């Protein structure tokens, strides 16, 4: 498995630009946000050899990604995707609670980003005061996110809220990682880092170090809990005196009240490590997925159409959760950079995700309603495409590296078209016309478009693409020689471009 340092650096630099200029990233795409977050996390894992501003704060870069322009639309899309797939919505009263929490986290992210920038630019004479303000905001932000977490874990809506929870966990764990990495420079004592921040991080990530016999269990001591309480109280007083944002201070006061009520608690789910929680809730949700015939009207009433639709809905659920939760969870234990990411974790974040079946039938799909697709190693890249088509798609074959793969369908029907991809050319999207047969096929790459191949006799034109991912496989569900002959369904595999 490789890693695209240039792409990761480009994305992380855009996030840095947003955090330092105040001009937010302009993306309305949930999958694009996930790609930005993965690029930023790669900085924390030392996958990217960077220096300077990119190293100053992981959470600030995370914040630029998860709170872009129109962030409300992004956070709404996170739960709406899952709600549609499990046919169950978060109750309006609880959704209002979550929206309030998200707004509070965004206010804290903006304030923390501002003080980090001020600290980095501070003159020698002003450094101590900016250091104190930075500590206050860091402790306050931690208190706010700890207080918010349980609302995203409410059992009745845990599945629908899981992608939102994952981004809250991204914030929480990157705040802890920043404190561990930069705490001494920020003025924290080594004892506070080792007895509070580090054990909390280890417990929440179930990291290898946390499982060692000599590792301290996380229990917030009265000494350090008192320090956090006093610092937050002083921050509230200083903020009121300085005229800081009332919305920001309101979140601090609420978090302070929670700390007073539960001084020793990490959260109301103190026994849940974040990666384990994400994986458990993801699996629970797979059993709730329901196919909606309105999502595939062109073939829903045809033989094999319902079968394809049900399988496609499960694939969409898996893809949604991989991009918006599972990938992050694999890398959380390594955010401090103190331990290298395991080969298993790296293999998992490079896993293939699927779109489809589009069309009819679900023969040979590597997943079911009860079992996710297996995680397999990445093979050679696609270097060529052979298509046979006339009125419909008669057959198709992909070339991987120097070798042609399996030929799907008829090797004699239709007219043959052969495409040889250039070096570093990647198929990032496919359009398919579908009805009784697959009747049209078009490939988009990062350089050009190939096709369309086949006729125009289709009931719907479907797009198969995932932002930040490239095509790595293609499978035909069935081919029939009955008039009209042709391929009847297809599903496609994609892997992340960051790890190409």
Question: Which 3-state string (H, E, C) describes the chain?
Answer: CCCCHHHHHHHHHHHHHHHHHCCCCCCCCHHHHHHHHHHHHHHHCCCCCCCHHHHCCHHHHHHHHHCCCCHHHHHHHHHHHHHHHHCCCCCHHHHHHHHHHHHHHHHHHHHHHHHHHHHHHCCHHHHHHHHHHHHHHHHHHHHHHHHHHHHHHCHHHHHHHHHHHHHHHHHHHHHHHHHHHHHHHHCCCHHHHHHHHHHHHHHHHCCHHHHCCCCCCCCCCHHHHHHHHHHHHHHHHHHHHHCCCHHHHHHHHHHHHHHHHCCCCCCCCCCCCHHHHHHHHHHHHHCCCCCCHHHCCCCCCCCCHHHHHHHHHHHHHHHHHHHHHHHHHHHHHHCCCCCCCCHHHHHHHCCCEEEEEEECCCCCCCCCCCCCCCCCCCCCCEEEEEEEECCCEEEEEEEECCEEEEEEECCCCCEEEEEECCCCCCEEEEEEEECCCEEEEEEEECCCEEEEEECCCCCEEEEECCCCEEEEEEEECCEECCCCCEECEEEEEEEEHHHC
What pLDDT is recorded for position 216? 41
Identify whether 452 is preceded by a cis peptide bond (ω within 30 of 0).
yes
Same fold, 70-281 and 289-499: no
Where do the domains of the chain lie? 70-281, 289-499
Q: Enter the tokens of residue 63.
A: 């914040």
d(CA 383, CA 30): 29
Q: Which residues contact 232 (CB under 8 A, 6 or more apart)?
A: 136, 139, 140, 143, 252, 255, 256, 259
CA–centroid distance for 489 within its chain: 29
Is the Cα dihedral 148, 151, 153, 158 positive or negative?
Answer: negative
Q: What is the dihedral of CA 263, 267, 273, 279, to 10 degrees?
A: 180
Please, what sign has the CA dihedral across residues 361, 366, 367, 368? positive
Written as six digits, the tokens of 153 are 């874990």
What is the Cα–Cα distance from 193 to 180, expressed in whole angstroms?
A: 6
Which residues, 6 or more positions from 46, have their beta carbon under 8 angstroms from its beta carbon? 337, 340
Tell me the percentage of the chain whose pLDDT exceeds 70: 91
Q: Is 100 exposed, middle or buried, given 0-12, 13-18 or 19+ CB atoms closer than 10 A?
A: middle
Quick check: 339 and 209 in contact, CB under 8 A?
yes
Fold of 70-281: Delta-Endotoxin; domain 1 (1.20.190)
pLDDT of residue 248: 93
Are the C-beta atoms of residues 29 and 467 closer than 8 Å to each other? yes
pLDDT given for residue 131 in this prediction: 92
What is the spatial distance between Cα 133 and Cα 64, in angstroms, rounded to a whole number? 21
Q: Give the model's pLDDT for residue 54.
A: 54
* pLDDT in the model for residue 172: 97
Are β-strands 427-434 and 460-464 bridged in parallel, bridged antiparallel, or unpaired? antiparallel
Q: Using CA atoms, how far apart are residues 288 and 283, in angstroms rounded to an integer?
A: 9
Confidence (pLDDT) at 103:
94
CA distance 283 to 341: 23
Tell me, what's the pLDDT at 90? 95
d(CA 430, CA 464): 5
State which residues of the chain have pLDDT below 70. Answer: 1, 48-55, 207-225, 262-271, 457-460
Could you tell me which CATH class the domain 289-499 is placed in? mainly beta
Cα separation, 254 vs 143, in Å, equals 9
């Amino acid at each position: 498995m490789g890693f695209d340092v240039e792409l990761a650096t480009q994305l992380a630099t855009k996030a840095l630009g947003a955090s330092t200029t105040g001009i937010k990233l302009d993306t309305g795409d949930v999958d694009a946000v996930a790609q930005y977050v993965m690029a930023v996390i790669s900085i924390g894992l030392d996958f990217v050899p960077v220096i300077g501003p990119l190293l100053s704060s992981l959470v600030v870069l995370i914040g630029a990604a998860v709170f872009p322009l129109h962030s409300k639309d992004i956070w709404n899309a996170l739960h709406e995707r899952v709600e549609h797939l499990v046919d169950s919505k978060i109750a309006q009263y609880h959704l209002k609670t979550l929206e309030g929490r998200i707004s509070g986290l965004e206010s804290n992210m903006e304030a923390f980003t501002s003080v980090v920038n001020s600290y980095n630019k501070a003159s020698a004479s002003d450094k101590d005061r900016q250091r104190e303000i930075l500590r206050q905001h860091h402790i306050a932000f931690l208190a706010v996110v700890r207080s918010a977490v349980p609302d995203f874990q409410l059992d009745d809506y845990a599945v629908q809220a899981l992608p939102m929870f994952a981004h809250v966990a991204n914030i929480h764990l990157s705040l802890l990682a920043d404190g561990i990495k930069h705490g001494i420079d920020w003025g924290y004592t080594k004892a506070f880092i080792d007895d509070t921040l580090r054990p909390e991080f280890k417990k929440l990530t179930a990291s290898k170090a946390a499982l060692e016999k000599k590792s301290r269990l996380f229990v917030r001591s009265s000494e350090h809990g008192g320090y956090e309480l006093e610092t937050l109280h002083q921050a509230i007083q200083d903020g009121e005196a300085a005229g800081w944002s009332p919305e920001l201070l309101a979140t601090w006061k609420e978090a302070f009240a929670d700390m007073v009520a539960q001084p020793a608690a990490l959260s109301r789910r103190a026994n849940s490590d974040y990666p384990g929680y994400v994986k458990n809730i993801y699996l629970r949700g797979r059993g709730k997925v329901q196919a909606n015939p309105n999502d595939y009207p062109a073939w829903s009433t045809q033989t094999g159409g319902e079968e394809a639709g049900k399988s496609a809905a499960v694939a969409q659920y898996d893809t949604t959760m991989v991009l918006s939760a599972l990938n992050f969870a694999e890398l959380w234990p390594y955010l401090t950079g103190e331990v290298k990411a395991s080969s298993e974790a790296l293999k998992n974040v490079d896993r293939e995700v699927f779109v489809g079946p589009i069309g009819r039938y679900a023969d040979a799909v590597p997943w079911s309603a009860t079992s996710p697709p297996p995680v397999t190693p990445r093979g050679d890249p696609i270097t060529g495409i052979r298509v046979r088509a006339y009125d419909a798609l008669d057959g198709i074959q992909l070339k991987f590296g120097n070798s042609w793969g399996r030929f799907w369908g008829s090797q004699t029907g239709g007219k043959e078209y052969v495409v040889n991809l250039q070096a570093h050319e990647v198929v990032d999207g496919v359009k398919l016309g579908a009805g009784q047969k697959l009747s049209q096929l078009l490939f988009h790459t990062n350089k050009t478009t190939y096709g369309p191949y086949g006729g125009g006799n289709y009931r719907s034109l479907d797009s198969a693409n995932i932002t930040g991912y490239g095509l790595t496989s293609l499978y035909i569900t069935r081919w029939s020689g009955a008039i009209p002959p042709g391929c009847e369904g297809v599903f496609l595999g994609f892997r992340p471009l960051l790890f190409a």
